[in-house]
Amino acid sequence: MAFSKGYAGKVLRVNLSNQKISVEQLNERLATLFIGGRGLGAKLLFDEVKAGVDPLSEDNKLYFLTGPLAGTTSQASSRWMVVTKSPLSGTIIRSTGGADFGHELKSTGFDLIVIEGKAEKPTTLCIRDDKVEFKDASHIWGKEIDTETIQEILRRELGDEKMQIACVGTAGENGTLFASILSARRSASRGGVGTVMGSKNLKAIAVRGTAKTEVADKKKLNEITKQIVAEAIKTPMYEGFSHLGTPGATALMHEMGMHPAKNFQIGQLDDFSGLTPDKLQQIFVKDEGCCSCFIHCGSVFHVKEGLYKGDPVVAPEYETMWSFGANLSNTDLGFIVAANKVCDDFGVDTISAGSIIAFAMELYEKGILSKADLDGIDLTWGNHQEAYRLLMKIVQRKGIGSILALGTKRAAEQIGKGAAKYAMQVKGLEIPGYELRGAKAHGLNIATSNIGASHMTGYCTHELFGVPQPIDRFSVDGKGSLTKSIQDITATYDSLVICGFPTTFGWMVPETCARLLSAATGIEEFSDVNQLIKAGERIYTIERAFNVREGFARKDDYAPERFIKEPIPNGPCKGQVFENEVLLDDYYQARGWDVKTGIPTKEKMEELGLKSAAEELKKMGKM
């Protein structure tokens, strides 16, 4: 394998405890089997982080990764991935970010950075090509400086306006368990990756490089890329998502009854008028995009009047529209934009943040939390002003906010009084803005996702958009095998570190990715689409093996009781429940895992080339 093609071929290992660095060659065999990004991160985490490690201890590791298409002309392929053990769920976690950081990281000549140990004091890691420096970050630690300003300060201090920076905000410093990592105005958010970074006293990573990514067949790569773009821009999905981005899907999900409200108590809001596309258009300023991406799905919004008027800010994504909108029974768009900005400024996941407020609202409604418990906040449904007050307490970890900053699962354990029943989470990660009872494969993915409740580990467009073909979303038939196949190919896409849009909407299908990867790397195995799909299954299974080693099994692949026992009371999905048991049986059979335990069998793991991982699980008595 020639790592001069596609791959940079080098790994930067950084020990924060003793400020030692080492440069290693990327393992050729691992790159072939696990591709990059998510796959390499999962394999390295399994091999290098021992079972039972405290996610916030020095022994946990943090991996920043790119893919073999980063830095090439391939579109939407220069994103970056963070892999670690989650402090929120205790599972493996992977979170991805956009903007220009991934491209610049690859330009330093490294495919990935391994962060080990814990710095003695707040530190910024500065990487200029192969020169690595540790900079004191004490002056920007503990000051409640917003993440955008932090990046501006560091660029000035480092003397380079083009330096790309990934940093944590105040929430990453104070131990909020769902803290994110921000670069420009894009973030890797889910599962507390920013919390792990903050626990290591690592304030930021700054990267700048001059290395060029060489490819095996530049002409072929460019031709494939041009064809992808030419075909994609003709589709209705492109027209919809290249303007307004994901917030434009809010109305569609509402119409389908897939945009749940009031902490998943009801299928849709009665009055949705404040969140329609025409309302979004009224505050729209401009489109923006990530490095080397033709979709430019990002938007800038400007709320010019009302309680939340302010400067133009990056627009909330669909999930944020839901978490601070329908989930709180709120239709004030200004509040949603303002809440999104608070989350970006302090560095927290908007899905978890909004979900925790909805959780607290229901506890208030049920009498489990009183106004006194909430530090005088009158947390009634739709009361966005009080929700804003609570959000500030959460990100600052003040009063009741210190408990809610632990996430719904741990907060419920501390609150007691039956609060756990109202925590809408799977494996400790808050459920995103889709009604599990209204789309069974999509719901099954969220229930079985290796990182906890994530929609982006197996997004079922068949059920939600009728792409590549529509299917009955209420039926359970065949949903196990469908979910498996989507999860596996998504793992492949994530290991290429390709954006979810071109893959979700069919602009980059497995066959296309095989052609892109073959042209970029020249590696023969990557030209076989079946090998790529098998790699996805291998990656998904090593992630599962990591979780099994941590004590996870079938018992953890369940939606909250509400979804299983309470039929949706209104909307197009009225009467639906989530048939968890039936769906799990079908899913495990499709995967070739033990149906009773949900643990991969020794035979399946050996088939996928994971013999050593299987032997470790067997020694531990896990299989």
Confidence tier at 3 by pLDDT (50, 70, 90) = low
Whether 354 shows a pLDDT value over 80: the answer reads yes
Task: Say what the pLDDT of residue 335 is.
Answer: 98
Q: 37-72, pLDDT tens digit by residue?
A: 999 999 999 999 999 999 999 999 999 999 999 999
Task: Say what the pLDDT of residue 4 is.
Answer: 60
Task: Say what the pLDDT of residue 246 is.
Answer: 87
Whether 507 shows a pLDDT value over 90: the answer reads no
In the chain, the domains with their CATH numbers are: 10-208 (3.60.9.10), 233-422 (1.10.569.10), 436-619 (1.10.599.10)
User: Between the CA of residue 506 and those of 228, 482, 510, what are the distances in Å?
Assistant: 10, 16, 9
Report residue 500 as tokens: 């979810």
Q: Which helix (H) or strand (E) holds 481?
A: helix 479-496
Confidence tier at 556 by pLDDT (50, 70, 90) = very high
**pTM for the complete prediction?**
0.97
Whether 240 shows a pLDDT value over 80: the answer reads no
Task: Say what the pLDDT of residue 180 is.
Answer: 98
Lowest mean pLDDT among 125-134, 242-251, 360-369, 556-565: 242-251
Angle between helices 479-496 and 510-521 (to 10 degrees): 20
Q: 143-177, pLDDT tens digit by residue?
A: 999 999 999 999 999 999 999 999 999 999 999 99
Bridging pattern class, strands 186-188 and 181-183:
antiparallel
User: Between the CA of residue 552 and those of 105, 205, 452, 485, 546, what are the distances in Å?
Assistant: 34, 32, 11, 22, 9
- Amino acid identity at 440: K
Whether 504 shows a pLDDT value over 90: the answer reads no
The strands making up 313-314's β-sheet, listed across from edge to edge, are: 284-288, 298-301, 313-314
Find all residues with CB under 8 Å of 223, minimum gap 6, and list them: none
Q: 75-102, pLDDT tens digit by residue?
A: 989 899 999 999 999 999 999 999 899 9
Task: Say what the pLDDT of residue 1 is.
Answer: 42
- Amino acid identity at 53: V
Q: 464-489, pLDDT tens digit by residue?
A: 999 899 999 999 999 999 999 999 99
What's the rounded mean pLDDT across residues 183-187?
A: 91
In SS3 terms, 271-336 reads as CCHHHCHHHHHHHEEEEECCCCCCCCCEEEECCCCCCCCCCCEECCCHHHHHHCCHHHCCCCHHHH
- Listing DSSP states for 511-571 in one string gives HHHHHHHHHHH--GGGG-HHHHHHHHHHHHHHHHHHHHHTT--GGGS---HHHHHS---SS
- Strand, helix or coil for residue 2: coil
- b/e map of 278-287 (b: 16 or more CB within 10 Å)? ebbeebbeeb
Which residues lie across from 187 on neighbouring strands? 182
Lowest mean pLDDT among 122-126, 319-323, 400-404, 524-528: 524-528
Report residue 234 as tokens: 């003709």
Task: Say what the pLDDT of residue 616 is.
Answer: 97
User: How many angstroms separate the CA atoms of 172 and 455, rounded?
Assistant: 24
Task: Say what the pLDDT of residue 229 is.
Answer: 92
Whether 297 shows a pLDDT value over 90: the answer reads no
Q: 193-221, pLDDT tens digit by residue?
A: 999 999 999 999 999 999 999 999 999 99
In the chain, % of residues over pLDDT 70: 99
Whether 27 shows a pLDDT value over 70: the answer reads yes
- Strand, helix or coil for residue 86: coil
Place of tokens 């002309």: 73
- Amino acid identity at 196: V
